[in-house]
């Protein structure tokens, strides 16, 4: 009888510890804990939500309002979401994101 050799491959890459995303404002790559996620609803409004379904766009937490303004000016939201975006809703989404970053527990509903 032939003994089968275990063919486990060493060095399978499981480097999923810190996924990185690119900020659509300043184009900086950072870990998802340094960025906030924006998604577009079916109505074309932008909402802040790390766990909402759909296509996401990312902005730096540290320079959130600047990156959001940059992204608006460069139409990066339209590109990220592949469609028109309600710019007024971006401002309120940024506002919500800034609030929840400051008080993470307040965002624990839903
Ligand atoms: Zn940025």
pLDDT the model gives residue 6: 61
Residue 83 CA to ligand 1 centre (angstroms)? 21
Domains and CATH numbers, the chain: 22-103 (3.30.1230.10)
Residue 14 CA to ligand 1 centre (angstroms)? 27
CB atoms within 10 A of CB 79: 13
What phi, psi does 26 have (nearest 5°)?
-100, 0
Q: How many residues does the chain have?
A: 110
Prediction pTM value: 0.76
The predicted-structure confidence for 55-108, as pLDDT tens digits, reads as follows 899 999 999 999 999 999 999 999 999 999 999 999 999 999 999 888 766 655
pLDDT the model gives residue 110: 47
Residue 23 CA to ligand 1 centre (angstroms)? 5
pLDDT the model gives residue 11: 57
Residue 106 CA to ligand 1 centre (angstroms)? 24
The predicted-structure confidence for 6-40, as pLDDT tens digits, reads as follows 656 565 555 556 789 999 999 999 999 999 999 99
């Amino acid at each position: 009888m032939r003994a089968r050799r275990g063919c486990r491959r060493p060095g399978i890459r499981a480097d999923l510890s810190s996924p990185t995303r690119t900020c659509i404002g300043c184009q900086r790559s950072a870990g998802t804990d340094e960025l906030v996620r924006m998604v577009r609803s079916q109505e074309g409004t932008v909402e802040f939500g790390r766990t909402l379904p759909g296509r996401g766009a990312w902005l730096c937490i540290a320079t959130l309002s600047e990156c959001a303004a940059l992204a608006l000016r460069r139409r990066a939201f339209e590109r990220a979401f592949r469609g028109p975006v309600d710019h007024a809703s971006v401002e309120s989404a940024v506002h919500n994101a800034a609030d929840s970053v400051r008080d993470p527990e307040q965002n624990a509903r839903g």
